[in-house]
Amino acid sequence: MDEKTKVQIEIDVSKHPLHVDHPSCSKGHSLRCENVKINDYASIKVKAKYKENSGFIYIDPIYGSFDNIIEGMYVPDGEVIELFCPECNENLTAVDDTCQVCLSPMFLFHLPSQGIVEGCLKKGCMFHKLKIVDAEEQVARLFEERMLL
Ligand SMILES: [Zn+2]
Ligand SMILES: [Zn+2]
């Protein structure tokens, strides 16, 4: 590999990951977890419930990446879990949205400046959706970006 090729590869990698930095519940409690890093970024820590079992899940903050860590319980692939804010126990299930791939419920995290991130609650489904609302527009425009992996 010559110098030129190497440089191009480095640029590609650095501009690619889009990660969720400051997710919160609807009351503004931060879900950011500095203690557990996934792919070098602070993970998103939430309470998780599967049937009668509960534990924690550290969600991969990189959009479209799914190296999640489940702690304290076992969830088989294909099962749907529920997520809660660790601070106020708010159910983080999106009220009026379902996964476009498998029709399961989705979780919803709030972002600064009114954006939201949603993701499928079925383990192994890997569907993510990002909506960023630009508050500076007179009529709020909705940007929607979808990723299927
Ligand atoms: Zn909360
Ligand atoms: Zn799904």
Query: If you measure from the C-alpha of residue 149 to the centroid of ligand 2, how many angstroms do you get, rounded to a whole number?
Result: 11
Residue located via tokens 């949205």? 97
Residues with CB under 5 A from ligand 1 (ion): 25, 27, 29, 85, 87-88, 90
Give, for 1, the enclosing helix (H) or strand (E). none
| Percent of the chain with pLDDT strictly greater than 70 | 75
pLDDT of residue 87: 97
What's the pLDDT tens digit per position in 35-53?
999 989 999 999 999 999 9
- Pairwise CA distance, residues 142 & 133, whole Å: 5
pLDDT above 50: residue 11: no
Question: For residue 122, which ligand has an atom nearest its CA?
Answer: 2
pLDDT at residue number 133: 52
Q: Quick one: pLDDT band at residue 137, thresholds 50, 70, 90?
A: very low
Nearest ligand to the CA of 28 is 1
- What spacing in Å lies between the alpha carbon of 22 and ligand 1's midpoint? 13
What is the rounded CA–CA span in Å between residue 32 and residue 35?
9
